[in-house]
Amino acid sequence: MTEQRFKQVTSAVLGITVFAPVSAEPEAVPVTFTCPKCGGRLGYDLKSSGIACEYCGYQAPVSTTQVGTRAGKFEFTLETLQAAEAGWGEMRNQLHCDNCGAELSYPKGAVAAACPYCASNKVNVTLSERKELRPQVLVPFAIKPDGLQAIISEWFSQGWLHPGKLAQSAALRKFVPFYLPYWTFSADFEADWKAQVAHVVTETYWDPGSKSHRTRTRTEWRWESGSIDDQVQNLLVCGVNPSRLNWNLLKEIEPYDLRGLVKFQPELLAGMNAQAYDLPLVEAWDKGKGEIRDLAVEQAISGKTVRNLSIDLIYDNEKWRYIFLPVFIAVYRFNEKTYQVMVNGQSGKVSGQKPIDWTKAWLVILACLLPGFLTMAIGLITSVIGVGFPILFVGIVLLIIGMVIAFFIYKEADRWENK
Amino acid sequence: MGEQVTEFANSDFPKLEVRDQLSWFPDAEVVACQECGRVFLVLPDMDDTLCPMCGKAPLKPQQSLVLSRPPELLLTPRLNNANLSQAFAGFISGVPYRTPDLTAENLTNRSRLVFWPMWLVDGDVKGEWQAMMGFDYQVKTARERLGSGGWSSTPELRTQTRFEPRRGSIERHYDNLAVPALLEHATIIEKLGSYNHQEAVNFTPDAINGAVVLMPNLDPQQLTGAAQVKLIAQAGAEAMRAAGAQSRQEFSLRGEYKNLNWTEYLLPIFSSHYADDDGREHTVYVQAQGGKVYGPRMASRRKAKTLSLILFGLGLLSLIAAMILMIVNNENVNFECSVAVLLMTFALMLIIGIAQLLRVKRWNSNQTSQFPPL
């Protein structure tokens, strides 16, 4: 066992020195990645899962330590909440490039970027002065570029309402690996609930009309109460503001297996796109609590029909952590319209918007309705000779069936475009 | 960290010696209790009075070991006669068949101010310390409620403590750390409550003002361990303050303790006494700062006996009346009822009379076992 290192800290009493443990984590400093062989741009290579020079082919492995769900969690201390609320100050947008000496200005919250002068990749891990608000763990990309192409080709080829040339679209080559900031939340919660619960009661009564006993059912509302004692572990809330990224798509590519969390290494972000959170911790936790509330309501109701439900909910042992999760994102234009596609960088699960060939869609909808119309028309014509009514009736039925099918086709087409 | 070294180099241990005259209590006479053996300094006119601590024997002049060096600090009594009388009045209330001598007035008139000793230790501590220091911090949580208007949330703050290891060195001098000077120190504090040492003043002979001064029965030479514990506790408290912590666990100190200087510190109690029915004296103590009273509150067996005899007499009269009625007319139904009532009265008087005697016996037995002399 290695002995813990200590360093002297301020003492409030003369004649007494105080030493506190030194964090095992090295001090966070911005890191510049340049090739030791040719001075070219070094970046993380998804194919080899190491860093590689795109000019001379130099490669080096990146050692990672898998920590999984044992990764450190933090409490909602007032200091952390205030720091998390403060956002990224203007000063933090300035970075020095160690390679060419340039003073660079990055977008707010940029964690990884390239120097525009010497092209060296930089990873800025000093965004926050508070350690817990710096990236400490992430799930590395498990999907290799080849695998991604196969997944995307398959996904684009699915469905028959989409334009035929979509599968050959340039969008296939536009997927960019992103490390997205996520908050994970864990908490114990206790809830006391009270509600009127519906009970269906069968009773026998005397029916004067039929002069016999008959049975009937009625709903009886009874006050009931109960308590819930449960917990949530590793509830994921994306740290990117929903106005900037489609949360519906992000939800659809979940889940992530957090057992794959590894300790943060700047090399893992070299040349990648990574942005610090812009949805503050408090707001993210509010969203997380929304899911816990839904869970509490679901457990309280638990299949029952209730009314006047009231719940008192208290939280305990609330913890959070700040992580990066891998996503491939593509934003492409088709027929002057913008579409977004996301791929889970760990599991390969895809979600996205796909353009619809509306000519094809309307033709299909028309084809659905046509048998009904035609049959009705025949019915009308043959009604002149007195045999048309059954045909007309069949036509109406076919039209209704056709309309239902057409409605679902329209909804599905619209969903693909506007997820 | 090296081996633990405990040193008491250059320490000044005060000597208890036989003296006739003391510079700090000029007219004092050295007396001792023949029963409990405690040694006191009293004014000459106070010898032959009852021992203020055990109350079982008179104080007699005796050559004994006393402290020649004057005390350093003293706590002056906060109670005046009115407070004392009030404290005694509260003390004697609720005693069944109170002993005639047990009155607030008697206790107040007989009360004597007694100063009992503690040692004060000054010393140097030099060494290395380590501990788990506790730092308080606040976490934000919430209490939420779903009602007819939807969810509402009330934020709450919860204080928690995070323990972290800290270590360091210490080189400090500490003054006036109080260490027991009496074997019965813990008992006195337990029975009478602790003192507010912040109110201690420098000793002057006038401050004693004719009071009785009890001499230490613990020698400082035997108390180095206790002094070390005090020094460690003080060092721990200061290390905690130095680290900016609010609590500490597992504090340990390795080093040396030097230049111990021992002086005396006097604490006040009032001692009073009363006699029970049998003439046995019982001592009552009052903590002269807080006013807490300790001592047995004896009931009067004589009073209880008198009442019982009256009850027995009434019972006997009822019995005689019942017998006469039975002899006079034993056929009348009304007379039979009266006889029954009289017999029941006899039985009742007998039971109540015996119960009073038993009650007082039990009360006194409890008092003497629960409140032995200090």
The answer on A374 and A260 residing in a single domain is no
Region of poorest pLDDT, from A53-57, A68-72, B13-17: B13-17
Check if B157 contacts A (Cβ < 8 Å).
Answer: yes
* Top-confidence range, A148-157, A366-375, B237-246: B237-246
Query: Which of B264 and A111 is assigned the larger pLDDT?
Result: B264
Check if B244 contacts A (Cβ < 8 Å).
Answer: yes
Give domain status of residue B149, yes or no: no
Tokens of B248: 């500490």
> Residue B187: its pLDDT value, please?
92
Spell out the residues 6+ positions from residue A303 whose beta carbon is closer than 8 angstroms to its own. Answer: none
| Sign for the pseudo-dihedral over CA of B204, B209, B210, B211 | negative
The answer on B213 and B103 residing in a single domain is yes
Check if A311 contacts B (Cβ < 8 Å).
Answer: yes
The answer on A404 and A327 residing in a single domain is no
Question: Is A50:A60 a contact under the CB 8 Å cutoff?
Answer: yes
> Residue B333: its pLDDT value, please?
61
Q: What percent of chain B has pLDDT over 70?
A: 91
Q: Which residues of B touch A311 (CB under 8 A)?
A: 144-146
The answer on A383 and A335 residing in a single domain is no
Question: Is A110:A92 a contact under the CB 8 Å cutoff?
Answer: no
The answer on B314 and B281 residing in a single domain is no
Å between B56 CA and nearest CA of chain A: 51
Q: Which residues of B touch A19 (CB under 8 A)?
A: 166-168
pLDDT band at B3 (very low <50, low <70, confident <90, very high): very low
The answer on A311 and A292 residing in a single domain is yes
The answer on B118 and B98 residing in a single domain is yes
Find where tokens 């003492």 sit: A11
E strands within B211-246? 212-214
Give domain status of residue B154, yes or no: no
The answer on A283 and A325 residing in a single domain is yes
The answer on A210 and A253 residing in a single domain is yes
The string of pLDDT tens digits covering residues A171-228 is 566 788 888 889 999 999 999 999 999 999 998 988 888 888 999 999 999 999 999 9
The answer on B290 and B326 residing in a single domain is no
Region of poorest pLDDT, from A94-108, A275-289, A402-416: A94-108
Q: If 0-12 CB within 10 Å is exposed, 13-18 middle and 19+ buried, where does residue B2 land?
A: exposed
> Residue B189: its pLDDT value, please?
93
The answer on A365 and A318 residing in a single domain is no
Q: Within 10 A of A221 (CB to CB), how many other CB atoms are there?
A: 14
The answer on B80 and B20 residing in a single domain is yes
Assess whether pLDDT exceeds 50 at residue A385: yes
AA letter at B63:
Q
Query: Which of A288 and B333 is assigned the larger pLDDT?
Result: A288
Average pLDDT estimate for B115-136: 93
Residue numbers of the domain that contains A379: 358-417
The answer on B258 and B336 residing in a single domain is no
Assess whether pLDDT exceeds 70 at residue A4: yes
User: Which one-letter DSSP state was computed for residue A71?
Assistant: S
In 3D space, the residue among A88, A98, A138 whose CA is nearest the CA of residue A122 turns out to be A98
Give domain status of residue A22, yes or no: no
Tokens of A407: 């409605």
Please measure the distance between the N-terminal and C-terminal CA atoms of chain A and give it in whole angstroms.
Answer: 53
Assess whether pLDDT exceeds 80 at residue B1: no
Select from A308, A333, A352 the last residue of a domain: A352
Mean pLDDT of chain A: 83
The angle subtended at Cα B18 by Cα B15 and Cα B22, nearest 5°, is 85
Region of poorest pLDDT, from A286-290, A384-388, B231-235, B258-262: A384-388
Check if A22 contacts B (Cβ < 8 Å).
Answer: no
Average pLDDT estimate for A27-37: 75
Check if B139 contacts A (Cβ < 8 Å).
Answer: yes
Region of poorest pLDDT, from A109-123, B54-68, B292-306: A109-123
3-class DSSP state of B223: helix
Q: How far is CA A184 from CA A68, A163, A281, A299, in A?
A: 13, 39, 10, 22
User: Which one-letter DSSP state was computed for residue A270?
Assistant: T
The answer on A212 and A227 residing in a single domain is yes
AA letter at A278:
D
Tokens of A275: 């942005």
CA distance B43 to B356: 45
Q: Which residues of A touch B147 (CB under 8 A)?
A: 310
Give domain status of residue B74, yes or no: yes
Whether the link from the prior residue into A255 is cis, omega within 30° of 0, is yes
Select from A312, A332, A352 the last residue of a domain: A352
Average pLDDT estimate for B243-257: 93
The answer on B283 and B194 residing in a single domain is yes
Tokens of A24: 């095992």
Check if A315 contacts B (Cβ < 8 Å).
Answer: yes
Q: How far is CA A370 from CA A27, A57, A361, A373, A406, in A?
A: 71, 62, 14, 5, 11
The answer on B275 and B315 residing in a single domain is no
Assess whether pLDDT exceeds 90 at residue A264: no
Spell out the residues 6+ positions from residue B245 whose beta carbon is closer than 8 angstroms to its own. Answer: B133, B134, B135, B166
Spell out the residues 6+ positions from residue A108 whose beta carbon is closer than 8 angstroms to its own. Answer: A87, A88, A92, A93, A278
The answer on A296 and A208 residing in a single domain is yes
The answer on A372 and A319 residing in a single domain is no
Check if B175 contacts A (Cβ < 8 Å).
Answer: no
CA distance B345 to B352: 10
> Residue B4: its pLDDT value, please?
44
Tokens of B122: 């000054």
Tokens of B308: 């019982």
Cβ–Cβ gap A78/B241 under 8 Å? no
Mean pLDDT of chain B: 87
> Residue A90: its pLDDT value, please?
42
Å between A16 CA and nearest CA of chain B: 4
Q: Within 10 A of B182 (CB to CB), how many other CB atoms are there?
A: 21
Spell out the residues 6+ positions from residue B12 whose beta carbon is closer than 8 angstroms to its own. Answer: B259, B260, B261, B262
Cβ–Cβ gap B239/A76 under 8 Å? no
Select from A297, A326, A352 the last residue of a domain: A352
Average pLDDT estimate for A28-36: 76
The string of pLDDT tens digits covering residues B158-172 is 999 999 999 999 999
Give domain status of residue A218, yes or no: yes
> Residue B8: its pLDDT value, please?
62
The answer on A297 and A211 residing in a single domain is yes
Question: Is A310:A331 a contact under the CB 8 Å cutoff?
Answer: no
Among all residues of chain B, which has the CA nearest to that of A81? B140
Check if A195 contacts B (Cβ < 8 Å).
Answer: no
Check if A297 contacts B (Cβ < 8 Å).
Answer: yes
Angle between the B301-328 and B333-370 helix axes, to the nearest 10 degrees?
Answer: 170
Structural domains counted in chain B: 2
Check if B145 contacts A (Cβ < 8 Å).
Answer: yes
H or E element in which residue A149 lies = helix A145-157
Assess whether pLDDT exceeds 90 at residue A8: yes
Give domain status of residue B100, yes or no: yes
Question: Is B131:B188 a contact under the CB 8 Å cutoff?
Answer: no
CB-side neighbour CA atoms (13 Å) of B18 = 4
Assess whether pLDDT exceeds 80 at residue B154: yes
* Pair type for strands B29-33 and B59-61: antiparallel
Q: Which residues of B touch A80 (CB under 8 A)?
A: none
Select from B268, B298, B328 the last residue of a domain: B298
Assess whether pLDDT exceeds 80 at residue A115: no
Å between B12 CA and nearest CA of chain A: 24
The answer on B338 and B263 residing in a single domain is no
In 3D space, the residue among A80, A37, A45, A76 whose CA is nearest the CA of residue A61 turns out to be A45
Question: Is B185:B118 a contact under the CB 8 Å cutoff?
Answer: yes
Structural domains counted in chain A: 2
Average pLDDT estimate for A96-106: 62
Assess whether pLDDT exceeds 80 at residue A19: yes
The answer on B194 and B50 residing in a single domain is yes
3-class DSSP state of B255: strand
Please measure the distance between the N-terminal and C-terminal CA atoms of chain B and give it in whole angstroms.
Answer: 45
Q: Which residues of A touch B155 (CB under 8 A)?
A: none
User: Which one-letter DSSP state was computed for residue A167?
Assistant: G
* Top-confidence range, A142-151, A408-417, B296-305: B296-305
3-class DSSP state of B345: helix
Q: Within 10 A of B23 (CB to CB), how many other CB atoms are there?
A: 10
Query: Which of B372 and A275 is assigned the larger pLDDT?
Result: B372
Q: Maximum CA pair distance of chain A?
A: 117
CA distance B310 to B288: 43
Give domain status of residue B156, yes or no: no
The string of pLDDT tens digits covering residues A62-100 is 888 888 888 888 899 888 887 776 654 444 455 566 666
Average pLDDT estimate for A324-340: 84
> Residue A123: its pLDDT value, please?
66
H or E element in which residue A334 lies = strand A306-334
pLDDT band at B9 (very low <50, low <70, confident <90, very high): low
> Residue B165: its pLDDT value, please?
95
Region of poorest pLDDT, from A73-87, B88-102, B295-309: A73-87
Å between B366 CA and nearest CA of chain A: 50
CA distance B313 to B315: 5
The answer on B268 and B310 residing in a single domain is no
Region of poorest pLDDT, from A97-106, B48-57, B270-279: A97-106
Average pLDDT estimate for A117-127: 62
The answer on B262 and B185 residing in a single domain is yes
Cβ–Cβ gap A76/B139 under 8 Å? yes
Give domain status of residue B248, yes or no: no
Give domain status of residue A74, yes or no: no
Give domain status of residue B315, yes or no: yes
The answer on A186 and A312 residing in a single domain is yes
Residue numbers of the domain that contains B62: 16-122+170-220+253-298
Assess whether pLDDT exceeds 80 at residue B19: no
